[in-house]
């Protein structure tokens, strides 16, 4: 199995115009609806869960890449961030090495917890396009879309229909 496929707008490899258009059409067919993704799921009870969820979807809203199928991966990302933060707090207050009542030293179990959730977070981030490179590409896409909306010729052509 190779690399995970990214949305065509995030792909920077050489692709012919025809290939790019075919991929865009295929993505649109599979995109689904975005009726629920921008509302916080009812399963998220804690304030920080809700705030993180809203933060993530609001940051990606202008790119219009999210749909209702992404709710679970966004929730998973929220839980990863919260658990990473909790583990990090425990590490900061207790250190990376802890000792038992007999004075024997152990690696703080929170280090492995942090590591596991960080790994899952990175995987989710790639799927959601949250890396700095992906965000840069999204900003370029956003800028191009804005320019296209403001272009008088494109507006006139759109209104001809």
For residue 131, pLDDT beyond 80:
no
Cross-strand bridge partners of residue 41: none
Q: Report residue 86's pLDDT band, with 50, 70 and 90 as the boundaries.
A: very high
pLDDT at 154: 57
Higher pLDDT, 33 or 139: 33
- Candidates 20, 5, 23, 11; CA nearest to 134 is 11
pLDDT at 151: 64
pTM over 0.95: no
For residue 92, pLDDT beyond 70:
yes
Beta strand segments in 14-69, E: none
Region 25-54: what's the mean pLDDT? 88
For residue 149, pLDDT beyond 80:
no
Q: Report residue 45's pLDDT band, with 50, 70 and 90 as the boundaries.
A: very high
pLDDT at 48: 96
Quick check: helix, strand or coil at residue 99?
Answer: strand
* Cα–Cα separations (whole angstroms), residue 9 to 6, 53, 100, 139: 8, 24, 53, 11
Q: Report residue 16's pLDDT band, with 50, 70 and 90 as the boundaries.
A: confident
Region 127-154: what's the mean pLDDT? 69
CA distance 110 to 17: 49
Name the burial class of residue 123, with classes exposed (0-12), middle (13-18) and buried (19+) by CB atoms within 10 angstroms of its CB: middle
Taking the CA atoms of residue 113, residue 71, residue 37 and residue 2 in that order, the dihedral angle to the nearest 10 degrees is 100
pLDDT at 63: 75
Q: Report residue 79's pLDDT band, with 50, 70 and 90 as the boundaries.
A: very high
- Candidates 134, 1, 5; CA nearest to 60 is 134
Residue with tokens 């507006």: 155
Put residue 78 in one of left, alpha, beta given phi > 0 → left and psi -120 to 50 → alpha.
Answer: alpha
């Amino acid at each position: 199995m190779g690399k995970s496929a990214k949305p065509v707008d995030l792909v920077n490899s050489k692709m012919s115009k025809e290939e790019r258009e075919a991929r865009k059409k295929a993505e649109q067919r599979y995109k689904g609806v975005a009726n629920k993704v921008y509302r916080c799921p009812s399963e998220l009870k804690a304030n920080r869960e809700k705030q993180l969820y809203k933060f993530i979807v609001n940051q990606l809203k202008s790119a219009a890449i999210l749909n209702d199928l992404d709710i679970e991966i966004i929730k998973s990302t929220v839980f990863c961030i919260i658990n990473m933060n909790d583990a990090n707090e425990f590490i900061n207050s207790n250190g990376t090495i802890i000792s038992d009542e007999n004075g024997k030293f152990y690696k703080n179990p929170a280090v492995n917890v942090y590591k596991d959730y960080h790994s899952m977070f990175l995987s989710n981030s790639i799927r959601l396009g949250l890396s700095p490179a992906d965000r840069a590409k999204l900003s370029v896409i956003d800028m191009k879309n804005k320019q296209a909306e403001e272009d008088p010729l494109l507006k006139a052509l759109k209104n001809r229909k």
